[in-house]
Structure 1
Amino acid sequence: MVAVVLAIASVLAPSGCAGSADGAGAGRITLKVRLFGTFGYQEAGLFDAYMARHPDIRIEYSTIQDSGQYWTALQTSLSTESGLGDLQGIEVSEITDATANMADSFVDLGPLGASALRDQFYPWKWAQGLTPDGKVLGLGTDIGPEAMCYRRDLFAKAGLPTARADVAALWKNGWDGYVAAGERFRAAGIPGSAWTDTASGMFNAMIGQSPEQYYDASGRLIYDRNPAVATAWGEAMKIAAGGLSARLTQFTPAWNQAFTSGQFATVACPSWMIGYIKSQTGSLDNRWDVTTAPGGTGNWGGSYLAVPKASKHQQQAADLAIWLASAPQQVAVFEKTGNFPSNRIAAADPAVRDFSDTYFGAVGDPAPIGRIFGDAAGRLPAAVLGARDQVVKDLITKGGITRVEAQGQDPAKSWAKVVRDVTAATG
């Protein structure tokens, strides 16, 4: 869940309540929820539902779409113990940094009731939220099983198949097949349309299929000798240097507009992208569709809920986090935004497994996104995460790939700079 435009939203108690020291009515508690991107809680009406069940609770909610900007602000707030929410989101690429280096700043949610949820989660997801000594720092919100979203109308113009099974067959041999299909699309010469939005997105999708990415299990950086990174970089270079991308930067206004203008025909599509596409394309239903990604799996995204020790309402904040992480609420979020549950009970619920979205696919043939993402989730690798995962990833994608894609730099020279930059950033 990442983006670049700042967005703020609030969920407030009825205006008729008398004021108090924390802004709530007499005897009421205000819980400040600070998140990034679209966790789906507001969209699914869960904050309102929780306040209706707990009339003594008022929820004040805000979100920043840029996860990097959010993380920087959170680190500053933790160091000064000011500006913190009672409930904070932590992105998956930052969770190891939080559990390894910031455990003293967050509450152990286990004794506050969270341990009861342990067996409901994918084991690897639960483990990622634990500190080295076993404290529950973060409760999983979602995971990011991958698919491929594509424009049916652009595929038809290029003479490519449009049915989901036939499209998936284009890349049955993996990412080489995806690149080959892109070359066919480029050869069709559709004005103003590229095969994909950016090579960075494809790199992220590819690397998300590997259990080892930038670090090994001992915490050592291995990005520069990991075959999975080398392969993903090589495929990304075919896209970046081969004229297959629209050379856009994800989560920018230009990228958002391109969803409707037809500037790209495919986009790497973790489950949370479903809601994002719908929010950007409005009435363009039945132009986009969803099918299996090359390789059939991969994880891109997923977040956690944590309670800072600076919160004056730790138990109440933990109660809200536990309720939001429970199966019924994760089902409701998936139905509204497509964020795939990290709670296995929710993932197995027929409301998720059998869910089809009429916005995607041909009229009368809605995309079975519950099955597509559920199948990918069942094959997800348990990825090794490192303390500076996000830093390394950004230096490769926003740095190295962008230099080739947007500036025309030689791939070998760009990779050499990646190595220098990672060394400088990680010591």
Structure 2
Amino acid sequence: MPIARAAKRATARLGAVVLAGALLAACGAGDASDSSDSAGGEVTLTVDLFGSFGFEEAGLYEEYEKLNPGVTIKQSDTQDEADYWKSLQTRLAGGGGLADVQGVEVGRIASVTQQQSDKFQDLKEFGADKLKDEFAEAKWSAATTKDGQILGLGTDVGPEAMCYRTDLFEQAGLPTDREELAKEWATWDGYLELGKRYMEKAPAKSAWLDSIGSLYGIMIGQEEERYYNASGELIYEKNPAVKEAWDTSVEAAEAGLSAKLDQWSPQWNQAFAAGSFATIPCPAWMLGYVKGQAGDAGKGKWDIAELPGGAGNWGGSYLSIPRAAKHKKEAYALIEWLTAPEQQAKVFEKQGNFPSSTGAIEKIADAEDPYFSNAPIGRIFGEAAKESPVQVLGVHDQNVMQQLTNALSEVERKGKSSDKAWETAKKGVENVIG
């Protein structure tokens, strides 16, 4: 999308949002589900998310509240997405306790569009269909039902790269230049070989990577088909791409390359600052997480290089509105503004979450990140986003992923054999899916 068009849309939207601040109460006056908090037109919008979407960190809520006097935004969040989704399902079933805006991870969006469309608001009723050309096609279509309902607006996508600690590489006698490393680990075999060299001279209490679960996740993100095919058939058991990612992850564990840290655990969080691992597979959204956990002391010690094995995508999210939300019109005005190119660009600059808006992608093409040794993150993640496959998403995509990574954790932490772990994963999938 040309920048001029993006700017034109932004100017028009900004005026509409400011005007909406004064008119939102009137818009919802005849609808009990959209009633404002008081006769004076003040409204509190609740936003329930998982992980870090970057809205607070980039100051967007504060900015929106200034543009819309009388609007207050309250965010709640759950760090672990699996816990968040389980809680959301309970509240959707009961119809109570839902926020005005709920985050949905990309691995769950097929469940929303195919099984829960009656639980979420069709955003087309508020004019969302006019925004279609301003989002990447894959991002837009994934949140659209077969009958044309639009059940979410995309916040970000997860183009992949590799984050690494230059200081630890130096201590182990490895090259630190991002271009040289990209050539040395052009393949996953090359990545493992470099890891074995690292472990020969690794600093005390430091491993090559954080966990084989993160390695598996980043590899499977390079595939178009992983757990389901385009017909909706569950294919993970016979998919060679899943087998390859699994076997490579097991090989890394057996070679002693992993720090054996379950992602999102307290120990994993502490390891960023402690230097417990030298590399971590890094979707764009991980940059903000690294900064938050490694802190100021980590600035300049990290860098980013292109990913082994080619481009891929891991993660990305949507903002959706439950049908039981109290302030649906106001909520839509907020999520349209939050997902506009200007706001997506601000979140990327602050947190690293890569935009799903084509206009925002143009805006951040030349971005660099001082924290990551001035890595050209706009170029690295931009090229990865362009080259990433359009992934086939199934109803239980995230559930299958979780069972497989849980089983891999038993390989690296308990020494379970690959075959036994695979059987555990299969049983877990059967129990979850039924």
Q: Which residue of 1 aligns with 2:416?
A: 409
Taking structure 1 as reference, are residues 309 and 345 closer, same or farther at Cα in structure 2, changes over 3 Å only?
Answer: same
Q: Which residue of 1 aligns with 2:400?
A: 392
SS in 1 for 2:372: strand
- C-alpha separation between the residues in 2 aligned to 1:252 and 1:409? 21
Q: 1:359 aligns with which of 371, 377, 381?
A: 371
Indicate whether 1:342 and 2:356 are aligned: yes
- C-alpha separation between the residues in 2 aligned to 1:53 and 1:105? 30
SS in 2 for 1:165: helix
Q: Which residue of 1 aligns with 2:425?
A: 418
**Residue 417 of structure 1: how far off its partner (Å):** 2.0
- C-alpha separation between the residues in 1 aligned to 2:428 and 2:60? 42
Matches within 5 A, 1:273-352: 273-283=286-296, 284-349=298-363, 352=364
Indicate whether 1:383 and 2:396 are aligned: no
Structure 2 counterpart of 1:401, one-letter code: L
Aligned residues: 399
- C-alpha separation between the residues in 1 aligned to 2:81 and 2:154? 16
- C-alpha separation between the residues in 2 aligned to 1:193 and 1:109? 48
Q: Percent identity?
A: 48
Indicate whether 1:222 and 2:235 are aligned: yes
Taking structure 1 as reference, are residues 22 and 64 closer, same or farther at Cα in structure 2, changes over 3 Å only?
Answer: farther
Q: Which moved more, 1:53-62 or 1:215-224?
A: 53-62
Superposed CA deviations along residues 67-86 of structure 1, whole A, max 9, x for unmatched, are: 11111111111111111011
Contact 1:86 1:314 in 2 (8 A): yes
Unaligned runs of 5+ in 2: 1-34
Indicate whether 1:96 and 2:104 are aligned: no
**Residue 23 of structure 1: how far off its partner (Å):** 5.8
**Residue 296 of structure 1: how far off its partner (Å):** 3.1
CA-based RMSD of the aligned residues comes to 1.3
Superposed CA deviations along residues 246-305 of structure 1, whole A, max 9, x for unmatched, are: 000111111111111111000000001111111111122111111101123111110001
Contact 1:117 1:326 in 2 (8 A): no
**Residue 24 of structure 1: how far off its partner (Å):** 6.2
* Structure-2-length-normalised TM-score: 0.90
Structure 2 counterpart of 1:406, one-letter code: R
**Residue 325 of structure 1: how far off its partner (Å):** 1.0
Q: 1:213 aligns with which of 187, 208, 226?
A: 226
Matches within 5 A, 1:165-244: 165-172=179-186, 174-244=187-257
Contact 2:210 2:261 in 1 (8 A): yes
**Residue 423 of structure 1: how far off its partner (Å):** 2.4
Unaligned runs of 5+ in 1: 1-20
- C-alpha separation between the residues in 2 aligned to 1:53 and 1:421? 48
Contact 2:228 2:393 in 1 (8 A): yes
- Give the number of the structure whose residues are more often helix, by fraction: 2
SS in 2 for 1:145: strand
Contact 2:171 2:202 in 1 (8 A): no
Taking structure 1 as reference, are residues 25 and 40 closer, same or farther at Cα in structure 2, changes over 3 Å only?
Answer: farther
Q: Which residue of 1 aligns with 2:9?
A: none
* Structure-1-length-normalised TM-score: 0.91
